[in-house]
Homo-oligomer: A and B are copies of this chain.
C-alpha cells in the first residue's frame, strides 16, 4: 500500500530528515540510502528498506516495481512524495527517484568472519564520511571482506558515507571497535596487521603480504599513533615524490589494497 505525503511539516518527513543527524540515527537505529542502483544492490544483498520513498514524478522502471513489491511483501511501507520533499529528506538538490530507510546492521567485531576474505581494511579515527564511503567502495572492488573502524570514526551510516560507498555499505562487513578491543581480537586468530606508515617501514611495493591481511590507515591529519604502528606486523610506505608528506586517506587505502590484491590474488 502506498501513502502519499505532500506537506513539509508531515511527521514522517521530520523523522526522515532527522536521519541526517547521527544522534537521531542512533536513537532510531535507522539510516537513509538513496538511488535505484544502490537500493537494487541492497536488495540483491538481502537488505530491504523498511520504508521506500519514491518521487511522484518518476520514469517507470521495472526495478522500482520489483523493489516496491518486495518491500510490500516484507511488510514495509511505501511513500510517494514530490521531488522537493525528497530533496529535503536526502539533502541533495537533485534527488534520485527513490530512497529508502534501512535498519542499521550489527557492527560488533564478533560478526567479522576473518577467513572469508584475503584483505580487510582498517581505519583509525577516520573523520571524513566521504573517505569512509570511498574505502567501502574500494574494499568491494578489491574483494575485501569489510572495513573495521577503530576509535572515533565518522559514522558509516551517514548519508555522505552511504552515498560515497556506492552500495558497498550493504556488501562489505562493517565493525566498530576501540583499539584495545581490536588488537586482542586480531591476535586471537590468524591475520597480518600492516600499517601505512612512515616510521621504520619498507616500501609498500613488494612487501610481504599474507592473508588475511588487515591494512591499517590512520587519521586524515595525524596519521596513526606510534604505539599502534609498533604493534603491527609490518609497516609499509607509499613513496611521496613531491612536496606533500601524505596522501588522502582513501587514496592511501586504495593504493595499498591494490598492492595486497596483486600479492594475494
Residues of A with Cβ closer than 8 Å to B? 41, 44-45, 130, 134, 137-143, 164, 166-168, 171, 205, 238-244, 246-248, 250-251, 254-255, 258, 261-262
Contacts and interface: CB of A to CB of B under 8 A. Distances in A.
Copies of chain A in the complex: 2
A164 B244 CA distance: 12
A139 to B, nearest CB: 8
Contact of A242 (B141, B205, B239, B262): B141
A260 to B, nearest CB: 12
A166 B139 CA distance: 25
B247 A261 contact: no
Contacts of A41: 243
A110 B44 CA distance: 50
Given A141-B239, A143-B241, A166-B244, 7 more contacts: A138-B248, A141-B247, A142-B241, A171-B242, A254-B254, A254-B255, A255-B258
A244 B130 contact: no
A106 to B, nearest CB: 21
